[in-house]
Structure 1
Amino acid sequence: MTGQTTVRTLPRIHSRNPRSTTADDLLERRRTDLLERLAAAGPAHVVTGEPGLGRGALLDRAARSFGAGRVLRLRAAPGGPRPPYGDLRTLERAAAGFPGRPAAPPGPATPARTVAALRAAADGGPLLVCLDDAHLWDPSSRTVLGHAAGLLGVGDRIRLLLGVAGHRPVDREFAGLPVVAVPPLSPPDAAALVDEVTGRTAERGVRDALVEESDGNPALLLALVRRLSPAELAGERPLPWPLADAEVLAGVAGDAWPGPAGAADGLLLAVAAAARDAEDAGADADLVLRAARQLCSSPAAADHQRVPDTLLLADGRFRFLSGLLRRAVYAGARADRRRAAHRSLARALEADGRPLRALLHRAWATTGPAPLLASQLACAATDTEVAASHRLRSAALVRAAELTANGAVRAERWTAAAEQALLGGSPRRALRLLAAQRHEPMPPVIRGRGELVRGRAELRDGPVRDAHESLLLAASLLAAESPERAELALQAAADAGWAAGDAAACLRALEAGRARPAESGPAAAALPATGGQGAGGPVPPGPPGALPAPAALSASAVPAASAVPRPRSASGPLPGGAEPCRGEAAQGRTVARDYRDGMSAALEVRFDRAGSLLRRVVDAAATSRSPEDLLRSAAAALILGEVDAACRAGARALAVARTLGSAALAPQALEYLAYAELRAGRHAQARAHAEEGLRIAQRHGQRNQQAQHHAVLALAASIEGEPEVVAEHVGAALATARRHGLAQVSTLAQWAAARVDLGRGHPLEAVDRLGPLVAPGPRRGHFAVWMLAVPCFVEASALAGQPEGARAAVEDFALWAAFGADPQAPAQLARCRALLAPTDRADDLYARALALHDERGGTFERARTELLYGKWLRRRRRLREARARLGAALVGFEDCGAGVWAGQAREELRANGAAPGATRPADTSGLAGLTPQQWRVARLVAEGATNREVARALSVSARTVDYHLRNVFAALGVRSRVELARLVEQAEKAGAQTY
């Protein structure tokens, strides 16, 4: 073991790019975040992480940044004989190495002696002890150290960090200590690291491949970047395959890699080979043990083989504790040993009656073209009677393509593999698989299927206008030979137009699908391949704000996976699950047709026809088992304003998607559910759904879907009054929305930010943010979303003293309310008219708004109306009536968790004369003698607000503020705002009392 009381400089990450030093900053920020988490973990804890995640660098960072006192940094020396208690003696000698500390007297090694040595080294001050590679200590020293760590208390001011390897279980001697695992990089952080270390020269597809291959391991990611030439990074030359080879993986694994001999170990290699087709990177224990017997030199040796400590056996499955080590073991074994492992696994799987996995392992054991095996594997992968995940089917089709000699057949299998990857929720992988067949000879129908995959992948993770064009091209290529897929492409093209905020493009795609004959034929070739008027012509002008669609209710219109195709042959889209019966298929086609025609009618402002068609779609949810039809039903219910029906359909769609294991459908079902819950006023439930959807979308690289969920979370947080949380989600949503052209996401995010401004009493900021979204012109928000922000804009305009700019928006909103899609709209419209009405009419309009709230429900919106009505009554000195309205508003806001809005209601109650629990400064400065309204003015002025800003915050005129301020100055005997601010600050520091 080596010990030191000074801290070495953290080694710099090198790269051929001169800007790579910023990668250090990114990783340093990550380590700082981890250390903040460690700060609350107690006086002693274990820090673990697989090789390459930066466990040692984290301990270095902790030691280097500890400025409160002394630092003791030790690292165990690898290898060599380790005498009992030898490592503990090294620790004691290092602890005695501080100036003025005597050497530890000889004596037995005990936990109390170790703690006494550390306390002596601390000398009454803080001490940080960082012990890296503590798993290499001799067992006797580990035992004493583990017990000594348990004796440390907060009063000792000693922090003990024990770094242990993450590719093996934590030693039982440390089992009683809290464990903090260093997590892998998130995909966005990994992508940012690639951008930093390459100076943003890496082509997007190359960067995505690096991020996926590294699996969040920063050391592996940087090693992969160093391996590539500038031409390969720029996408000008193909990437080497495999991207992470044995040399790279072994280099990152370091001492954890068992070497070529260890990699050839029967059990280790069998587990690593079996994990290639497993969803959880685990392997059935019975299966791998049978395969390992065939790999070992003798069955008897296999039966008595010790389970390496790098493997975990739980629930009948073997798993590597480190994914990096699993990959290194497989890549480091000789090719003939890998093929032998796959043949052994194939025989065991055949005996178990699992043909698809058996064929896949037999294919992995085969070299060179094998047409017969490739055909068998492709047929098994497309057999809907075989239970298999989309990931497994995709892997099987990839291997079938690799073993296929015929170029056209190979292209078809690459395309089918990409379709399965997309259905499994991995758009980036789908695009990479498409790239593998771009040089193959392809008939139009295969090219069309590829464009369909490309467009739908970009709809989830790319610029949506690019997706729109790819999908229109797919429809034209597929129309003659695959009319069902052509219909799917047009539906997805409508989704892309919707997401981009292009109503005309959305309508053209829907109309093209309606105009296309059901049977194949040359007429279908007239489908539009690019923009233009298309079959449906331009969108009629119609009344502004009266274009209902799911996004108008903060959903995403036609589901992006709204028509996951069912397999018909080996070349089909190949989703998992059973083949639908003829009746179910016919029902699905009817629902899709009604939904398409209903959406077209809505965009054409033919509301009666739209309502009847969409009503049929909603009713179909009662008998449907298709997640696509259920998502359409949820969207149609949102359009019709039937929030409870939308929640039911969304919940059923989510349940079916989970049963099918569809990572493509689950995030979207959760998005629909979240928006429906928001509309119902159940903000906490909406937040829970959106958080789960965001996690799934992040895990599978669906950035557009992530942006949708960030927008939902921003809206939920804006109601709950969490400005910092809203700002975080708004920033994340807008970052993707701007890059990928997501007009709907952008509008929703800006609306959430404005609602925070309004909730915090900053109406002018809300007007500035919402004005462009609701005003006619190129900056107007998404065509089906902007009207939802109108009530906020009208409220902000009225409170900011700018009512004239809101009158036109109210008339537009009246057209939307008349459609009946939003149950809250009539009450909101009455409230908007009350805000802008003269005094003799406002009272009746507020009363009408409250009556409409009673009919339609909605706790949050009703509380907002009560608050505004209470403010209006208070300004007219109708204090008793104001007290009733403001009290009801406070109860409503507290009931739905709207914290900032509840604070507004409390402030208004204080200004009205009294409020239980309200606080004001103690009577040490004369401030307690002020009236409630005078105190509010004094506090706002002390915070630096101008008279006009105080007037806006309190909903009074600037003249009234000036009047109150003169009285405050006179009552307190101050002559300037500076003196007032000082007096208020002193009074607030002195404490507060309830009145």
Structure 2
Amino acid sequence: MLRAVYGDPRAAAELLPRLTERQAAGLDPLPTEPAELAPALLRAHRAEIQSLPDDTRLLLLLAAADQHPVPTHAFPRAVTAARLDTRPLEAAEAAGIAQATADGVLFRDAWTRIAAYETGSPAARRDVHRLLAGVLRGDGETAGRSWHRGAGALGPSGRLATELGAAAERACAAGRRTTARALAERAAALSPDPHAQSRLLALAAACAWQSGDADRARRLAAAAQEETLTGVLALRAGNASEAFDALLGAAVRRAAGESGGEDAEAGGEPSAAGPVRSVPAQLLAHATEAVIHTGDLRRCREAAQTAERVGIAAPGTLAGLAAAFDGRYEDARDLLMAAAGRCGPGGDPTVLMHAGIAALLLGDHTRAATATLRAADSARTRGETATVVQAMEFRAYAEFWTGRSRVGEAAARDALGQAYATGQDNGACHLRAALAMFAAVTGDTDACREHAAAARSYALARGLGLPAALAQWALAHLDLSSGRYAAAAARLRALAAFGPGHGHRAIRHLATPHYVEAAVRTGDTRVARAAHADYHRWATTVLSPDDLALSARCRALLATGGEAVDHYRDALDLHSRGTRDFERARTELLFGSALRRLRRRTEARDRLHSALEAFDAFGAPHLAAQARTELRALGAPASSAQAAPDTPTARLTAQQLLIARMAADGATNREIAVRLALSPRTIDHHLRGVFTRLGIRSRIDLVRLLAEGDET
């Protein structure tokens, strides 16, 4: 609402009681015309303007026409060309309405500028627009000149509509979405051809959407009767299943040529590559996003089969998901790897976003973070504000998996505000589910439950299986981390049973390691073994170190005695090659607990201290409390520090300190690995961490520092 009223709280206060029930609920778009937004405020401002001398009002009208909605910065030239005297502006300055500057006129606020323009008569407005058009002769001023020519027209004109439409397409291609929207909207108003008018309104609607003006986009899309853009809008703020049907149908019709070719006649979204990206492949990419959000396996297969039948190049994410859901893991891996590889800088934001999604499914979280960040940057460069929010939704996953909960939470909160401001309520639901996951990691019970409840309530009403499942997983994660194992197991079993729109197979799969842990704690391992078998098959297919590490941890949980110890060691060795440091800490906690039960006290203490320090660093107090409980059961001090706080080695974990002492005693990496039952690569990883934390470069420096610490 603040965006609609140009950020003015007075206008917002006036608009609020004027909203219909559906507008207040966010179901209908807000008004877009100033007279509909805050008529009383506008009348007051107009009265101020009307009290000024005629010469002053003319200058203010000229300045206002020069500034909005297409800023042309031609006021000084227009004043010179018309030989106007600028001294009358002193009256506006004395009244506090505007101030003259070297570049033009600075209005007190947006509503004063609007009042200055609307106070002028229609004839006076046309005159100032023609004056401004006459002085805009530079090579880069074509759009502004066309705008003022169109604004100064007396009535419909096919020639002016064509000129404005071409200018709109150029502005769109350059990423100037707001300017393109204004030009296209004006072109539509001047066009005498209904077909061309509909096409121009669709372009204006697409530009309004991508610039973040969702309410205007919905009004324009409705006027254009453009089902393709309506499908995109539904994807971001409506029923995702209906969005899928609309987008897939549009893609098929475009592929068959039923909509008149792949020009800018309808739908889709604007892109730097052209005025409107409505080609079948782009539409199918959006349909794929709808599939991802619904979690509907039937629709996933339908989209993949339809694409093959009509000859549309299906996105790798769609084909990969279809193959994975059918159990064809090798095919899924190859398709997703090809999609994930398309993450170079400066690419199409949608392609980059799909690369990030594919990388997430493959467990390549570093590449996922890179791709989603590049997608957001590319979208900003192209003026695609709406796509920035979409990219940040999946960016949150990458931050979550790599244990950067505080960074991820801050980014998700920022994106949440942008999602609501740009009318992307489905994206906001997704981000609230992500915030529930971050709150589960940090042990913020109230925030986790609040975000999860809000996300699930909205998701179930819109058929959004992904955020619904993610919110359920967040609650289960919170239960598991807080020692409520039966509740966690029950939630995760229920997650497996949820159908399309209520759950998501990908989330169920990703939650398998947590389900195995909860099931083992409650003594129910039959289903857990079956779930792990499928998870292990995927992990061995994609060869993600993180997924393989979690599979090894599942094996350890399902095993007993010395066999479990071997699997835990394998898991930690694999973790050292991956990026999911938070899950590595969970593995160390579980391993330390198992070692304590096996009465291997020394190694148990080292593992638990290492886990404790990691959880403290991650800001996960509930898991840190579990580690402290295990340490107290060992009779060890429940502190993550293993050296005196005033010594350099206080910065090392227990395991790092142990390895550092062995290295200082002259043991090679291979000898240390044999003694600790780890791989030489893992020892090398730990030693590099030791050198970084201590700020040293050689083993000689390490020997010296440890000797100084011992003397202290």
How does the TM-score come out when normalised to structure 1?
0.56
Whichever residue aligns with residue 87 of structure 2, its letter is A
Is 1:687 matched with 2:412?
no
Q: Do the aligned partners of 1:631 and 1:650 also contact (CA within 8 Å) in 2?
A: yes
Change (3 A) 1:623 1:807: closer
Partner of 1:714: 436
Give the alignment of 1:541-560 within 5 angstroms: none
- Residue of structure 1 aligned with 2:221, choices 431, 434, 442: 434
- Residue of structure 2 aligned with 1:370, choices 153, 157, 178: 157
Is 1:753 matched with 2:475?
yes
Give the alignment of 1:491-530 within 5 angstroms: 491-517=285-311
Partner of 1:882: 604
Give the CA deviation at 1:705. Answer: 1.8
Cα deviation, 1:751-785, whole Å, max 9, x if unaligned, reads 12222222233333323332200347779730211
Query: In structure 2, how many angstroms separate the alpha carbons of the residues matched to 1:312 and 1:729?
Result: 47
Change (3 A) 1:310 1:819: farther
Query: In structure 1, how many angstroms separate the alpha carbons of the residues matched to 2:172 and 2:423?
Result: 29
Query: In structure 2, how many angstroms separate the alpha carbons of the residues matched to 1:369 and 1:771?
Result: 64
What SS does the aligned partner of 1:396 have? helix
Give the CA deviation at 1:593. Answer: 5.9
Query: In structure 1, how many angstroms separate the alpha carbons of the residues matched to 2:319 and 2:399?
Result: 27
Q: Do the aligned partners of 1:598 and 1:610 also contact (CA within 8 Å) in 2?
A: yes
Q: Do the aligned partners of 2:237 and 2:424 also contact (CA within 8 Å) in 1?
A: yes
Query: In structure 1, how many angstroms separate the alpha carbons of the residues matched to 2:30 and 2:579?
Result: 61
Q: Do the aligned partners of 1:708 and 1:745 also contact (CA within 8 Å) in 2?
A: yes
Whichever residue aligns with residue 488 of structure 1, its letter is Q
Change (3 A) 1:662 1:241: closer
Query: In structure 2, how many angstroms separate the alpha carbons of the residues matched to 1:852 and 1:241?
Result: 56
Give the CA deviation at 1:418. Answer: 1.7
Partner of 1:727: 449
What SS does the aligned partner of 2:545 have? coil
Whichever residue aligns with residue 419 of structure 2, its letter is A
Change (3 A) 1:386 1:704: closer
What SS does the aligned partner of 1:482 have? coil
Q: Do the aligned partners of 1:370 and 1:404 also contact (CA within 8 Å) in 2?
A: yes
Give the CA deviation at 1:310. Answer: 4.0
Give the alignment of 1:93-242 within 5 angstroms: 187=1, 213-214=4-5, 220=11, 223-224=14-15
Q: Do the aligned partners of 2:247 and 2:286 also contact (CA within 8 Å) in 1?
A: yes
Q: Do the aligned partners of 2:498 and 2:504 also contact (CA within 8 Å) in 1?
A: no
Change (3 A) 1:716 1:435: same
Give the CA deviation at 1:786. Answer: 1.0
Aligned length: 619
Q: Do the aligned partners of 1:460 and 1:702 also contact (CA within 8 Å) in 2?
A: yes
Q: Do the aligned partners of 2:316 and 2:339 also contact (CA within 8 Å) in 1?
A: yes
Q: Do the aligned partners of 2:212 and 2:421 also contact (CA within 8 Å) in 1?
A: no
Partner of 2:170: 383
Q: Do the aligned partners of 1:213 and 1:243 also contact (CA within 8 Å) in 2?
A: no
Cα deviation, 1:876-901, whole Å, max 9, x if unaligned, reads 55443432221111122233333332
Whichever residue aligns with residue 389 of structure 2, its letter is P
Query: In structure 1, how many angstroms separate the alpha carbons of the residues matched to 2:31 and 2:435?
Result: 40
Change (3 A) 1:342 1:239: farther
Give the CA deviation at 1:460. Answer: 1.4
Give the CA deviation at 1:372. Answer: 1.8
- Residue of structure 1 aligned with 2:624, choices 902, 908, 915: 902
Q: Do the aligned partners of 1:293 and 1:302 also contact (CA within 8 Å) in 2?
A: no
Change (3 A) 1:733 1:609: same
Change (3 A) 1:270 1:811: same
Cα deviation, 1:618-639, whole Å, max 9, x if unaligned, reads 4444487333333333333333
Whichever residue aligns with residue 635 of structure 1, its letter is I
What SS does the aligned partner of 1:382 have? helix
Query: In structure 2, how many angstroms separate the alpha carbons of the residues matched to 1:610 and 1:231?
Result: 43
Structure 2 residues without counterparts, runs of 5 or longer = 263-277, 641-712
Q: Do the aligned partners of 2:412 and 2:434 also contact (CA within 8 Å) in 1?
A: yes
Is 1:456 matched with 2:226?
no
Give the CA deviation at 1:647. Answer: 2.8
Whichever residue aligns with residue 458 of structure 2, its letter is T
Q: Do the aligned partners of 2:366 and 2:579 also contact (CA within 8 Å) in 1?
A: no
Query: In structure 1, how many angstroms separate the alpha carbons of the residues matched to 2:182 and 2:45?
Result: 31
What SS does the aligned partner of 2:504 have? coil
Query: In structure 1, how many angstroms separate the alpha carbons of the residues matched to 2:366 and 2:180?
Result: 37
Partner of 1:628: 350
Partner of 2:337: 615
Change (3 A) 1:787 1:640: closer
Query: In structure 1, how many angstroms separate the alpha carbons of the residues matched to 2:464 and 2:116?
Result: 43
Give the CA deviation at 1:748. Answer: 1.1
Give the CA deviation at 1:226. Answer: 6.2
- Residue of structure 2 aligned with 1:272, choices 28, 52, 64: 64
Whichever residue aligns with residue 612 of structure 1, its letter is D
Give the CA deviation at 1:668. Answer: 2.5
Partner of 1:288: 75
- Residue of structure 1 aligned with 2:202, choices 407, 412, 415: 415
Partner of 2:123: 336
Partner of 2:698: none
Give the alignment of 1:848-887 within 5 angstroms: 848-887=570-609
Partner of 1:486: 280
Q: Do the aligned partners of 1:791 and 1:832 also contact (CA within 8 Å) in 2?
A: yes
What SS does the aligned partner of 2:623 have? helix
Change (3 A) 1:311 1:701: farther
Give the alignment of 1:805-844 within 5 angstroms: 806-820=528-542, 822-839=544-561, 841-844=563-566
Change (3 A) 1:225 1:722: closer
Partner of 1:34: none
- RMSD of aligned Cα (Å): 3.9
Give the CA deviation at 1:415. Answer: 1.7
Partner of 1:245: 35
What SS does the aligned partner of 1:369 have? coil
364-373 or 480-489: bigger deviation: 480-489
Cα deviation, 1:672-714, whole Å, max 9, x if unaligned, reads 3332233333334433443443343233111122222233333
Query: In structure 2, how many angstroms separate the alpha carbons of the residues matched to 1:899 and 1:477?
Result: 55
Query: In structure 2, how many angstroms separate the alpha carbons of the residues matched to 1:628 and 1:461?
Result: 18
Query: In structure 1, how many angstroms separate the alpha carbons of the residues matched to 2:619 and 2:21?
Result: 53
662-671 or 606-615: bigger deviation: 606-615
Is 1:797 matched with 2:519?
yes
Partner of 2:366: 644
Change (3 A) 1:699 1:293: farther
Structure 1 residues without counterparts, runs of 5 or longer = 1-186, 188-210, 439-449, 519-588, 919-995
Give the CA deviation at 1:455. Answer: 0.6
Change (3 A) 1:248 1:889: closer
